Amino acid sequence: MNSPWDARYANQEALYGKEPNAFFAQALSQFEGGSILLPCDGEGRNGLFAARQGWDVHAFDSSQVGVDTAQRWADEAGVSMHCTVCDAFEYAPPQPCDVVGLFYAHMPSDRRMEFHQRAIDWLKPGGTLILEGFHRDQLQFQSGGPRDEAMLFTPEMLALDFCELAITQNEFLEVTLDEGPLHQGKACVTRFVGTKR
């Protein structure tokens, strides 16, 4: 599979850093552990963190170069992580998971709802979705994310996409990102947590 992300990841390692997303690390600490799926996990910074915490981690990305890095980082850390090269619209998990984490997984607008529905389907009943992505107001900043407004999020949009979940957090925030060279500086993000009934 050829991905436009291959060239980016081949050009420089740790594009989003090697540390987990701050919201992910904080949200995950509320759970005891179990199985977690990280779609579009890139070079695996979040999967690596979860594996180090003892989670049974499945992660995928369409970039072979990103997945190779993720697997190498896991091997170097001596932890187990199931990393697969796959497109989000073709992925079928071995079994539904306790947690699905979507981090900066921005799809073309005409496929966003389909992708988010798939993320719901990948959860067990009682499982939790954790998401962080750029808000539409991010276009005023140069700290990362797609330049196409239609690919960005609002809490209202996420409330509709994930209406079958019991939503416990769905907010817009201004934060300062410090995640590798591609996520640096003031940013507008949305953070979402919801549990499948």
| Contact positions vs ligand SAM (CB under 6 A) | 3, 5, 16, 21, 40-42, 45, 61-63, 66, 87-88, 103-105
Task: Give 61 or 161: the residue with its C-beta nearer to ligand SAM.
Answer: 61
Query: 174 pairs with which residues across the strands?
Result: 188
Least distance (Å) from ligand SAM to the CB of residue 69?
A: 10
Least distance (Å) from ligand SAM to the CB of residue 17?
A: 8
**DSSP-derived 3-state class of residue 43:** coil
Alpha-carbon distance of 165 to 13, in angstroms, equals: 36
Least distance (Å) from ligand SAM to the CB of residue 3?
A: 5
The first and second tokens of residue 62, run together, are: 């369409």
Alpha-carbon distance of 165 to 154, in angstroms, equals: 17
Least distance (Å) from ligand SAM to the CB of residue 66?
A: 5
Task: Give 37 or 197: the residue with its C-beta nearer to ligand SAM.
Answer: 37
Task: Give 5 or 162: the residue with its C-beta nearer to ligand SAM.
Answer: 5
Alpha-carbon distance of 181 to 130, in angstroms, equals: 24
Task: Give 176 or 197: the residue with its C-beta nearer to ligand SAM.
Answer: 176
Least distance (Å) from ligand SAM to the CB of residue 180?
A: 8
Task: Give 23 or 162: the residue with its C-beta nearer to ligand SAM.
Answer: 23
**Residue 90 CB-density burial (10 A; 0-12 exposed, 13-18 middle, 19+ buried):** exposed
Q: In 107-140, which positions are buried (b, 16+ CB within 10 angstroms) versus exposed (e)? A: beeeebeebbebbbebbeeebbbbbbbbbbbbee
